Amino acid sequence: MKQVPMLNLKLEYEYMKRDIDSHVEKCFQHQNWILGPELKTLEQKIAEYLEVKHCIGVACGTDALLIALRTLAIKLNGREYFNTSDKIITTPFTFTATGDAILRAGATPVFVDIDPDTYNIDTSKIRECLSSNVPNNVVGILPVHLYGQSCNMDELRKIAKRYNLFIVEDSAQAFGARWQDKKVGSIGDAGAFSFFPSKNLGGFGDGGMIATNDGQIAEIARMLLKHGGKDKYNATHIGYNSRLDTIQAAILLAKLKYIDEFNDRRRRAAEVYTSTLSGISGLTCPKVFSDAYHIYHQYTIRVSASRRQEIQKVFTEEGICTSIYYPLPLHKMKAFKGRAIIAGRLEHTEKATQQVLNLPIGPLLCREEQSLVCKKLKEVC
């Protein structure tokens, strides 16, 4: 029986082994492990790729979010952290880190429902929330480009302008995704990326990056990631030890060359899924929007809760992996209880947590694996 993993990282390594090995080998030679030359090159290359002025490597995507937010607190208020009265609007249908970063930056998350077609934050609900004036003192928006599909950045920018809010884009799942002709993470005040191994651009361990066009944000972020000062022995701010390792940067430099090809391969695999599965009644495929160049970090179908359970049972027996991103919305987690505001009913979020199912997808997913997944799905549905 053939096993179909969610993502085959071993195959990806084999595919670019020579490139990766030669980059890593150079690190062994120079032994410059902390803030070494590969990191600088990676920051420059990614800045070119995203078409932003500054990129700053950090230890993980969570730190990219946290440091971006802390930087804004310092820049806008001259304070190290936000106050709990400062509110940041975000989606409850995301990875924990999104909301956690808001709490750790000192602010209060405001959870707004998602659009059931994209699973991204519903901008009309943000408008409702802001025009009702409850909650007051909203300072920013933290949208998440979930599954690799851009949020409606035109709307978000309009809202941000009207209400004088900052935007930090959680682009952890969307390296290379675009809104119209712009790469996500380059549109708001800052973008946060993750190089967690399973992300579209993944390292061999943790890693992250902040992208921004704002020189002041870049300057403060660079201080925060290395103990809060320009000089290591003279701190200006309450900082972190959150550097992106040279060796991770070297691996990412090698992998960056393949990102467009790999994102394109994911898109083609997604097309195969959609054309094969779209006839199945009671099964919804991801919707495609012309403004958003989707890079399918995940391929997410929607079925009834009971059918989802049935599919997972059969697939487990067949050795086909599936996952649920995410089974529990942030507002239902204990960590956020009493620390977040729920704006309106979060019905689409709650429904999505019960109905979404992520199928195996990756740049090197082969036709046979994909056919097996589709065949089994058709049998169950």
94 is a contact residue toward ligand PLP (CB under 6 A): yes
Residue least distant from ligand PLP (Cβ): 61
- Are 21 and 232 in contact by the 8 Å Cβ rule? The answer is no
The nearest distance, CB 366 to ligand PLP, in angstroms, is 25
- Pick the closer one to ligand PLP by CB: 205 or 344: 205
191 is a contact residue toward ligand PLP (CB under 6 A): no
147 is a contact residue toward ligand PLP (CB under 6 A): no
Give the span between the Cα atoms of 295 and 78, in whole angstroms: 37
- Give the residue carrying structure tokens 């390292």: 203
Binding mask 171-190 for ligand PLP (x = CB under 6 A): -xx-----------------
Interactions with ligand PLP, residue window 10-49 (CB under 6 A): none
CB atoms within 10 A of CB 139: 22
Binding mask 194-233 for ligand PLP (x = CB under 6 A): x-x---------x-x-------------------------
Judged by CB under 6 A, the residue of 170, 189, 214, 350 near ligand PLP is: 170
In three-state form (DSSP H/G/I as H, E/B as E, the rest C), the secondary structure along the chain is CCCECCCCHHHHHHHCHHHHHHHHHHHHHHCCCCCCHHHHHHHHHHHHHHCCCEEEEECCHHHHHHHHHHHHHHHHHCCCCCCCCCEEEECCCCCHHHHHHHHHCCCEEEECCECCCCCCECHHHHHHHHHCCCCCCEEEEECECHHHCCCCHHHHHHHHHHHCCEEEEECCCCCCCEECCEECCCCCCEEEEECCCCCCCCCCCCCEEEEECCHHHHHHHHHHHECCCCECCECCCCCCECCCCHHHHHHHHHHHCCHHHHHHHHHHHHHHHHHHHCCCCCCECCCCCCCEECCCCCEEEECCHHHHHHHHHHHHHHCECCECCCCCCHHHCHHHCCCCEECCCCHHHHHHHHHEEEECCCCCCCHHHHHHHHHHHHHHC
61 is a contact residue toward ligand PLP (CB under 6 A): yes
- Pick the closer one to ligand PLP by CB: 148 or 228: 148
The nearest distance, CB 151 to ligand PLP, in angstroms, is 12
142 is a contact residue toward ligand PLP (CB under 6 A): no
Taking alpha carbons only, the member of 214, 185, 181 closest to residue 199 is 185
- Pick the closer one to ligand PLP by CB: 27 or 101: 101
- Pick the closer one to ligand PLP by CB: 62 or 370: 62
Q: How many residues bind ligand PLP (CB under 6 A)?
A: 15
- Pick the closer one to ligand PLP by CB: 114 or 377: 114
148 is a contact residue toward ligand PLP (CB under 6 A): no
- The region of 5-13, 34-42, 89-97, 123-131 touching ligand PLP under the rule CB under 6 A is 89-97
- The region of 60-68, 215-223, 301-309, 343-351 touching ligand PLP under the rule CB under 6 A is 60-68
60 is a contact residue toward ligand PLP (CB under 6 A): yes
- Pick the closer one to ligand PLP by CB: 92 or 277: 92
**Is the preceding omega at residue 143 within 30 degrees of 0, hence cis?**
no
Judged by CB under 6 A, the residue of 71, 98, 152, 263 near ligand PLP is: 98
- Pick the closer one to ligand PLP by CB: 173 or 355: 173
The nearest distance, CB 172 to ligand PLP, in angstroms, is 3
Q: Which residues bind ligand PLP (CB under 6 A)?
A: 60-62, 94-95, 97-98, 144, 170, 172-173, 194, 196, 206, 208
